[in-house]
A and B are shown apart, each in its own frame.
Chain A
């Protein structure tokens, strides 16, 4: 259907964790794809499985306590079940990841420069001198002032925003095809967040890099991504072009999320909150997982919900999607 071959094609990704009481399925049937250069937002509330999905794409889940099923095709190669050695060669060079807490995500006893050049030298046979030059270049690319000076700084000498820039520099120094950004601005101030979002957008267009932006903030997705994937209780429940979803969400949960944003509601009005709470892992209801909280639930919702295609390129996991009129951000 898609014109271009997708860069990343996730098919039926299922993640299970081994716990004291046996295996617990954390995500199931997670499928989405990302075209080269495309920015896709993965949203959902805490515990929906979005971060775990990001870690699984990177092969960063602990092997001893988790199992990953399905396929993750990066440039046609399946990463699931790939030999650890081969997977490792792709991490940091073809697919990179940045995290929420820039302070704890950087090694405190190595300089920023050492941490950048080490990535480069792991994947490319470059000299120390060249690694330094390219590292400084990467710092400049992410908008760090005085990159030559900052190259020899330690993480604690940088502000939160600068640390996250350094983290991005480390992730992009090998010019990966895909960057997974897991809540990269949640720990930062709004004005700093705006700077970081700008940097990410700029990098994507300059390097032709695709991005999976994992966040709970729909506003950020609207600003940075062209497509939105919504997760709920370990499943993808809706996906589509961001503007389409914002205007006309097809899943009651997506609609509920949009409507509960105070920024878009009338001032001082009562916010249309979603009743109930996200089910805990292991207490997932059968059938539609959102059913207990949904105002539109009917008997058909008690059955397993397949994904329905929404032309041109959307999908929704709701059997009543064409019977109900849901509010978007403008209504």
Chain B
């Protein structure tokens, strides 16, 4: 068992390497397409051409792209994500400082998605085509369609500006002021959770309907098992694989959606960092943030793969 798990983890880690290389290449390549010159931005509007060239040389921006890439990559492997062109702060430090704010709203959103989406999905699946089911599914379709940031603005308008229950912007440190941090994170997390709830509800509903109409569930009825046991023991264990896949998907999407949400709520997280640095052509920061986020996504997928193998006996043979 443990040997098998180790092998599985090992093989998945090996598979991660090409994904990472591709991701970093993509980040580098895409940034080259962006018009404008970071050196010019740093030098300021009145700088001379020589000054700009000097800055460019200093930052290594005059080197060929592949050399810049290799240089950056060798640093990244050693944990050095270079420094910001604008502020001179090490990128890793900056990312790690902001990451907790982002992860807080992401995980809160994820928790909300599961906590609300799962019961709704079950409710809908156990009342197929009933009034509850129709209400839940149509609401869920709406939830998928509404953009996160728009939902965020509505929430701000209503609960923050209107009722004054929540702060409109900013964040607080989870370790120093946990309550205030949660208070700040509530509205952005809700805005982020909306699509996650909808997605989980819909997917869980259809997976559970499939399971409940399967032949083995007919066997369970034939054995005289109570409905509750069929649903909670067999139904849920069988849909847990689907649930796991969807949660992974929702996590990745939610992480991506922070870019817009952090802008709406002015949260000093990685999402707003990436937006700001991209506007300033602060390439090392953009690369660093995306690199760290890619690492997180890959780690999350790896975790899900492992849980999959643990949950589904049919997978353990591979």
Contacts and interface: CB of A to CB of B under 8 A. Distances in A.
In the complex, are there CB atoms of A and B closer than 8 Å? yes
Interface of A: 58, 60, 88-93, 96-97, 99, 101, 104-111, 118-119, 122-123, 154, 156, 167, 170-171
Contacts, number: 74
Contacts of B71: none
A2 B271 CA distance: 82
A91 B313 contact: no
B219 interface: yes
A297 to B, nearest CB: 39
Contacts of B224: 88-93, 119, 122-123
A119 B221 CA distance: 10
A60 B222 contact: yes
A104 B226 CA distance: 20
Given A107-B219, A109-B238, A122-B224, 17 more contacts: A60-B221, A88-B226, A92-B223, A96-B223, A97-B222, A105-B218, A105-B219, A107-B216, A107-B220, A108-B216, A108-B238, A108-B313, A111-B313, A118-B223, A119-B224, A119-B225, A171-B222
Greatest chain A CB density within 10 A among B216, B222, B312 is at B222
B128 to A, nearest CB: 9
B222 A96 contact: yes
A309 to B, nearest CB: 34
A89 B224 CA distance: 6
8 contacts: A92-B224, A92-B225, A96-B222, A99-B218, A101-B215, A108-B313, A109-B237, A170-B219
A167 B216 CA distance: 10
B316 to A, nearest CB: 9
Nearest to A104: B215
B215 A109 contact: no
A170 B224 CA distance: 11
Interface in B113-162: none
Given A106-B219, A170-B219, A122 B226 contact: yes
Contacts of B311: 109
A176 to B, nearest CB: 10
Interface of B: 214-216, 218-226, 229, 234, 237-238, 311-314
A92 B229 contact: no
B223 A105 contact: no
A119 B234 CA distance: 13
B222 A58 contact: yes
A180 B234 CA distance: 23
B222 A92 contact: yes
Contacts of A110: 234, 237
Contacts of B238: 107-109
Nearest to B217: A107
Greatest chain B CB density within 10 A among A91, A93, A107, A123 is at A107
Contacts of B225: 88, 92, 118-119, 122
Nearest to B221: A60
Contacts of A106: 216, 219
A172 to B, nearest CB: 11
B315 to A, nearest CB: 10
Q: Which 5 pairs, one residue from A and one from B, show the smallest C-beta to C-beta distance?
A: A92-B224, A91-B224, A92-B223, A104-B215, A154-B313
B92 to A, nearest CB: 42
A108 B219 CA distance: 12
A93 to B, nearest CB: 6
Contacts of B313: 108-109, 111, 154, 156
A292 to B, nearest CB: 34
A170 B223 contact: yes
A99 B219 CA distance: 8
B85 to A, nearest CB: 53
A126 B285 CA distance: 64
Nearest to B219: A105
B227 to A, nearest CB: 8
B229 to A, nearest CB: 7
Nearest to A106: B216
A156 B218 contact: no
A107 B219 CA distance: 9
Contacts of A154: 313-314
A88 B314 CA distance: 31
B221 A104 contact: no
B60 to A, nearest CB: 54
A156 B313 CA distance: 9
B274 to A, nearest CB: 41
Contacts of B312: 109
A60 B222 CA distance: 7
Contact of A119 (B223, B226, B314): B223
A316 B214 CA distance: 37
Contact of B219 (A90, A93, A122, A167): A167
Contacts of A107: 216, 219-220, 234, 238
